[in-house]
A and B are shown apart, each in its own frame.
Chain A
Amino acid sequence: MTGSDPPSDRIVAVPCEGDDVLALFALADGEPLGEVPVGSHPVHAATAGGQTFVATMGERAVTAVGADGAVSRVETGVLGPSHFATANGELFVSCTAGDALAVVNPETLTLVTRIGVGAEPHEVAVAPDEGRLYSGSRREGAVDVVDPAAHERLGAVDVGGDACVQGVAIGPDGKRGYAIDQAGARVVAFDPDGVDETDGESAPSDDPIINAAAVGADPYDLVVAEDRVFVPGRRDGVVHEFDRDLGLAAVHEGFARPVDLFRIDGEWWVLDADADRLRSLSGAIVETPAPGLVATRVGDRLVVSHYDDDRISLVDVADGTVWTAETPAYPFGSVVI
């Protein structure tokens, strides 16, 4: 089944940062289904163990919504839970105001432990075999390498002393890792297996670095496919396209504030935070009700969060906007359940 033919009972759950709620909509037609009060500043949602988890950056806790509607609070102990990753049935939460990943058991809704990593961890990537987890540090210019099963930090990749690591990704084959240095407007490729397991508490090493390349100003995230790496440069309105070892393939221009890319029907579509449209790298355009900051792919469609306009939309690149709906303030990273 594809997203263009969704079951009528699927739900879009959107954390709304400005109103501290998780807003619910019917995927089929955008009908509002209610709001779940959550903690302060919810930004991302994820599902695990039959629960819906909401990262509430203004708390030292995440919110869990159970299948029975029960709303629980799972303490992380550290401020700023922002991103989720799952490995080995556990939920890993980056606590971006501190220097830890919180490990949550989604079944028991308990904090299993915390793993010390570089300060201000942000995005977390997991190797395809779930044997390693990679956490980017905005403060320390490093990507921490973690054994998710043992809950141990193995070492870290040194991206550069002044680097501010935002996006982190692992290629589909697990052979390349990538990190975005927002401060230096760079993308760095590294060997995911290049951190010696005996490094333990040692300082980050640049030995695993394979290559680095300049990208457009103010990069934040990246998209990695089998043979391509895309990096939107938000302030320059460009998207850099590289091969897997960061050989430059193309620089796509003409965007306002590109933030993300999605491959649909063989075409790469760019989400633009300052333009009311999706534009493909080949120049096709789909109008949207408002600029989109974040989108969630569901089949061949996108649920687009119009952060500054308090709306979400379901957008089909072939048919245009399917529906749009008003939301509480500042809708952000949704999940479709």
Chain B
Amino acid sequence: MAPDSTPGDGTVGDAGSDGTESDPAPASTRRGLLRAAAGATVAGAASAAGCLGVTTPADVAAQNDVGGNVAHFVGPSWLADNRDDVVVLDARDPERFREERIYGARRVPFDAITSRESTDSGLVPDAEAIADAFGEVGVLPDDDVLVYGASVGSRVTRTAFALGALGHAGSIRALNGGLSGWNGRLGTGDRDRITPVEYEPDPAESAWVTRDWLAERLGTFNGDGPGLVDVRIPEAYLGAPGSDALDPDNDRHGHLPGAVGVHWVGNVAGRRMTEPGRLVGLYENRAELDRAGTVVVYGDDNVDPTSTWLTLRAIGFEDVRVYDGGFGEWANVEGDRGRYPVETKTSVVVETEGSVGGDDGSGDFSCTG
């Protein structure tokens, strides 16, 4: 143990043997600890410690709080206030879930909530399979649900969409900032014992569109008809020859005729949703989408576009739908490809700046939870 007289070594020995402060530094250290502790129980409180270059759990919580007229996304303080009233769903992979999670959170199998079924009109969400997955973890149709992941990436938003597609009657929220913003109680290990329930879906078919729904409206998108947003990276949107962004499983490359390209990562800034004012500028001013009209979003599959689905709803778009079959279905349709053409030329690519944080480690950037 260091002698009491050792100055400024950062140990508890900085305090005098009589308990008085030997210099100002330990006092500020203590104040910081006290503020941090206070912040841990008063989530969202602004902390002076942040001004000193120290980030406390309170700072993190405050950074992730969501203000203004934004739907669906809430911060950790909201969860702290409502923890007992919501079902918390973890959208990350099983390993991350076992390692650390919000106490009491349940994990719904991701493969199940992305499942689709084939119809004459094209692929649609498999409501029965999705409902079974939620029922397995005890979610009932009128439960208020909060979903979180490592950030607010597309695993989180797909989980939210899956509930929306079932016609979920309870509220659906996403935790801004993901698990790292949460400074409350944590759980670990295998999931808690949950009694499965029967989730009876009331599919909300207005949440998605089919291949044929789109084919019948070709030529009207982002004009007289619905808005249409391709959420993939611009190289995929343009079908850039030789680009690594092209899905080798697709027979054709490009985008649906008339779609505007807005890469979905623009919805996310690190672990948080992009500042709402920027999102409004991105989608209303630059992409020129009509918030009062119908807007359809699609990607290569049915995961990434749900980020834009939830984001647009969060900033007030009234009727947002996902093409669940995605470009993968459209590009590989067999038979009458003239009915389902693709375009490779357009100038309507809206550049975005976003990045997706998190430590999911799943190896799939687009699915970072």
Chain A residues engaging chain B, CB cutoff 8 angstroms: 60-61, 75-80, 95-101, 113-116, 119-120, 139, 151, 201
Chain B residues within 8 Å of A113, by CB: 338-339
Chain B residues within 8 Å of A76, by CB: 219
* CB atoms of A79 and B257 under 8 A apart: yes
- Complex CA gap A119/B338 in Å reads 11
* CB atoms of A101 and B258 under 8 A apart: no
Closest-by-CB residue of B relative to A120 is B344
Closest-by-CB residue of A relative to B257 is A78
* CB atoms of B334 and A98 under 8 A apart: no
* CB atoms of A60 and B219 under 8 A apart: yes
Chain B residues within 8 Å of A75, by CB: 219
Q: Given A60-B219, A75-B219, A119-B252, are A80 and B337 neighbors across the interface (CB < 8 Å)?
A: no
* CB atoms of A77 and B218 under 8 A apart: yes
- Complex CA gap A61/B345 in Å reads 15
Chain B residues engaging chain A, CB cutoff 8 angstroms: 218-219, 239, 241, 252-254, 257-258, 334-346
- Complex CA gap A71/B191 in Å reads 68
A248 to chain B, nearest CB (A): 31
Chain A residues within 8 Å of B342, by CB: 98-99, 119
Q: A60, A79, A99 — which one has the most chain B CB atoms within 10 A of its CB?
A: A99
- Complex CA gap A120/B253 in Å reads 11
* CB atoms of B219 and A119 under 8 A apart: no
Chain A residues within 8 Å of B239, by CB: 119, 139
Q: Given A60-B258, A119-B254, are A78 and B345 neighbors across the interface (CB < 8 Å)?
A: no
- Complex CA gap A100/B254 in Å reads 13
Q: Given A60-B258, A77-B218, A119-B254, are A114 and B338 neighbors across the interface (CB < 8 Å)?
A: yes
List 18 additional contacts besides A95-B341, A97-B343; criterion CB under 8 Å: A75-B219, A77-B257, A78-B257, A78-B341, A78-B343, A79-B257, A79-B346, A80-B345, A97-B345, A98-B342, A98-B344, A100-B341, A115-B338, A119-B239, A119-B342, A139-B239, A139-B344, A201-B335
Chain A residues within 8 Å of B218, by CB: 60, 77-78
- Complex CA gap A61/B340 in Å reads 16
- Complex CA gap A61/B258 in Å reads 12
8 contacts between A and B (CB under 8 A): A60-B219, A79-B343, A98-B254, A119-B253, A119-B254, A119-B344, A139-B239, A139-B241
Closest 6 CB pairs of A and B: A116-B337, A114-B338, A97-B345, A77-B218, A77-B219, A100-B341
* CB atoms of A61 and B219 under 8 A apart: yes
- Complex CA gap A95/B218 in Å reads 13
Chain B residues within 8 Å of A119, by CB: 239, 252-254, 342, 344
Closest-by-CB residue of A relative to B340 is A116
- Complex CA gap A96/B344 in Å reads 9
Chain A residues within 8 Å of B346, by CB: 79, 97
B40 to chain A, nearest CB (A): 56
B167 to chain A, nearest CB (A): 32
Chain B residues within 8 Å of A100, by CB: 337-338, 341
* CB atoms of B345 and A96 under 8 A apart: yes
A171 to chain B, nearest CB (A): 28
* CB atoms of B343 and A98 under 8 A apart: yes
Closest-by-CB residue of B relative to A111 is B219
Q: B252, B253, B257, B335 — which one has the most chain A CB atoms within 10 A of its CB?
A: B257
